[in-house]
Structure 1
Amino acid sequence: MPMNRRQLLQSASAGALLSAIGQHALAQAHPELLRIVTGFAAGGTSDTICRRVATQLAPSYAKTAVVENRTGAGGQIAIQFVKSAAPDGGTLLQTPTSMLTIYPHIYKKLPYDPKADLAPVSLGCVFDFGLAVGPAVPASVKSVPEFLAWAKANPAGANFGSPAAGSTPHFIGALLGKSAGVDLKHAAYRGTQPAMLDLLGGNVSAVSGPVGDLTQHLASGKVRILGTSGSKRNRFAPDVPTYEEQGIKEGTHSEWFAFFLPAKTPADTVNHLNAAMKTALANKDVVDGLATFGLEAMSSSPAELADLVARDTAKWGPIVKAVGFTAEG
């Protein structure tokens, strides 16, 4: 049946509207540029997962994906930057748990609210920590208890570095010292790799950091990993006993990296990116690539990530109190 003029105009208007809606949806689904922001230096585990995932999110989610290393203030600068970004799905934060679950217990005031300023997207990976020693520590020291005994007898060398003050590896190092009654002085760095460079140079005795950041330096022959923080031996360092195996139960902690968008990002954008993240984190190249750095790829729903943040925030409160560390002190 032929259409009259009114029907033709209505059909054309509807078509134009549907086309406009479709173009808008396409623009939302595929931003021109996705910036993945990390608060730590290039070369470390935090940077690694960003770069591995970025290769998969372009062009599946965005036309281009780049990584930005906004270091400083133990990861706070990156979070503050993403918090203030437009909630359009174009700026994605990757952060370790510490900045969201430990920092609220050690800072009287943070420049961000982990719950109110960020929209959870997906878990990224899980991993354990280790304690490495370098040239400043005698070769005869081959276990964590032996290192703690040496540190007690040599106060000038009783120190360790970590990726950031108030981070999980900082607290693990403090707990190790506390378990043996040793006052281990802490040196905070902008990521584990700068700490490892000082370890190799003999400027710091030990480093508490992600296992993957430590194993990268074993080939130099100058680094020894004395223990790991998991509940069982780490599959990337199977010959290294856990802290618990060495009689230090207080050191048993693992961590995760996760991805967040700015708060008020539309739910459909969050869900679209979550789907893209799950696909990226299941990609064999990503899984194998992360494994070389001691990271086990793992995704989640936004709700599961929100629950994880809440549980870990509650867990770390008593631990922080027991250690007695505050950012102001």
Structure 2
Amino acid sequence: MNSVRFLASPLRRALAVSVLAVGALGTAPAFAQDTTPIKMLVGFPAGGSTDAIARSLALGMEKSLGRPVVVENRAGAGGQIAAQVLKGSKPDGLTIFLTNSHAITMIPHTLKAPGYDVAKDFAPVSLVAFNPDVFAVSTTVAGNPADLKEFAAWAQKNAGKGNVGVPAPASAPDFVVSGIAKALAADLKSAPYRGDGPVAQDLVAGQIAGGVGSVGVMLPQVATGKVKILAVNGTQRVSSIPNVPTYAELGLKGLDDQIFTSVIVPAGTPADIIARYNAAIAAAVAAPEMKERLSSLGITLVSSTPEALGQRIQASSAASLAMMKAAGYTPQ
């Protein structure tokens, strides 16, 4: 099983100039003389919350860097395909990867041969956002359960109807469903989809009883009156849905690792380029226009040093491994 831990060498190279990030932007005019587009890989289709973050970030980075940043969707396998593309890219700064945490903290544990080693093949640049997963239910469920425990009780009384859509098999949402089923003695079964967009669509249509997906995808569906959010992962409630409790508040342990989005690059990318991109990301996520575009989706924008991102990946990797083991999942 691959260890999701950045090796010292690429991390040190990234950190060596991270404190000079603002200064690096000061040399942007020379950097901008090269108008070759920077390719931003995204492991999910257009239209989802990760894609929305990517397109907003690309616009912001273009302003700081003075050169085009083009989003390229390489969807499939929960971001694994895009990660493999990144691994095969030259470390010249022309290819970056905006990824959610699943591809770099969960897949290396659930697959024996994911096709990349996060520690050896990639270098961290910056956190970009927290986009927590939520547990949502269709309001077509009989009795319209008011909370997660009521939904679990309904599922227990209606054997075979407690299907819960998840964005991918062997994902954090998949293991969340397993954890809830065990903790609340409920007949809940994961129904894997290809992304959380289709999960939200089937919830609205009443085709499935429940679903787990990003707050950015589920929150807009609440306005239809056909979807209700009952719980959120993470250590604190989300400001856009302040009345929705965390799993921990409901007494459900081991389900609080919050999904995050970050930018990584191929290992060996020059430290000065990492510094420029780190500073450009910080400027983009702090800009009012990006916050305005994404705030309605419940997405919290952040930035970080490469070191902080590396530490976050290590912590999330440990949490992912614990969830997988708790679910009794065997790497495939």
| TM-score bracket, shorter-length normalisation | 0.7 to 0.9
Give, in whole Å, the separation in 1 of the partners of 2:170 and 2:52: 22
State whether structure 2 residue 234 is matched by structure 1 residue 230: yes
Moved more, 311-320 or 267-276: 311-320
**SS, match of residue 213 in structure 1:** helix
Give, in whole Å, the separation in 2 of the partners of 1:101 and 1:29: 36
Deviating above 6 A after TM superposition, structure 1's stretches of 4 or more consecutive aligned residues are none
In structure 2, the partner of 1:301 is 305
Give, in whole Å, the separation in 2 of the partners of 1:71 and 1:139: 37
Aligned 8 A contact 2:138 2:209 in 1: yes
**SS, match of residue 123 in structure 2:** strand
* Cα 1:30/1:147, change in 2 over 3 Å: farther
Displacement after TM superposition at 1:230 (Å): 3.0
In structure 1, the partner of 2:197 is 193
Cα deviation digits, residues 181-224 of structure 1 (max 9, x gap): 33422122232111111222222221111222111111111111
Give, in whole Å, the separation in 2 of the partners of 1:183 and 1:211: 24
Aligned 8 A contact 1:29 1:272 in 2: no
In structure 1, the partner of 2:214 is 210
> Please, which of 307, 312, 319 is the counterpart of residue 323 of structure 2?
319
Mapping of residues 234-313 of structure 1, within 5 Å: 234-313=238-317
Displacement after TM superposition at 1:102 (Å): 1.6
Cα deviation digits, residues 218-277 of structure 1 (max 9, x gap): 111111111222333221111223333333234333121100112221111111111111
In structure 2, the partner of 1:80 is 84
Q: TM-score, normalised to structure 1's length?
A: 0.86
Give, in whole Å, the separation in 1 of the partners of 2:212 and 2:104: 19
Displacement after TM superposition at 1:136 (Å): 4.9
In structure 1, the partner of 2:50 is 46
State whether structure 2 residue 114 is matched by structure 1 residue 110: yes
> Please, which of 154, 160, 163 is the counterpart of residue 159 of structure 1?
163
Give, in whole Å, the separation in 1 of the partners of 2:138 and 2:331: 27
Displacement after TM superposition at 1:288 (Å): 2.6
Give, in whole Å, the separation in 1 of the partners of 2:268 and 2:323: 32
Give, in whole Å, the separation in 1 of the partners of 2:191 and 2:83: 22
Give, in whole Å, the separation in 2 of the partners of 1:264 and 1:143: 48
* Cα 1:300/1:262, change in 2 over 3 Å: same
Unaligned runs of at least 5 residues, structure 2? 1-26
Aligned 8 A contact 2:257 2:319 in 1: no
Aligned 8 A contact 1:97 1:257 in 2: yes
Give, in whole Å, the separation in 1 of the partners of 2:234 and 2:312: 18
**SS, match of residue 102 in structure 1:** helix
Give, in whole Å, the separation in 2 of the partners of 1:29 and 1:106: 43
Q: Which has the higher contact order (CA 8 A, sep 6+)?
A: 2
Displacement after TM superposition at 1:309 (Å): 1.2
Give, in whole Å, the separation in 2 of the partners of 1:95 and 1:79: 8
Displacement after TM superposition at 1:164 (Å): 2.1
Give, in whole Å, the separation in 2 of the partners of 1:97 and 1:289: 22
**SS, match of residue 66 in structure 1:** strand
Aligned 8 A contact 1:232 1:242 in 2: yes
Give, in whole Å, the separation in 1 of the partners of 2:149 and 2:201: 24
State whether structure 2 residue 67 is matched by structure 1 residue 63: yes
**SS, match of residue 93 in structure 2:** coil
State whether structure 2 residue 147 is matched by structure 1 residue 143: yes
Displacement after TM superposition at 1:62 (Å): 5.0
Give, in whole Å, the separation in 2 of the partners of 1:35 and 1:139: 49
Identical counterparts, % of pairs = 36
Alignment length (residue pairs)? 306
* Cα 1:292/1:327, change in 2 over 3 Å: farther
Unaligned runs of at least 5 residues, structure 1? 1-22
* Cα 1:90/1:180, change in 2 over 3 Å: same
* Cα 1:53/1:29, change in 2 over 3 Å: farther
Displacement after TM superposition at 1:31 (Å): 4.7
> Please, which of 180, 185, 193 is the counterpart of residue 184 of structure 2?
180
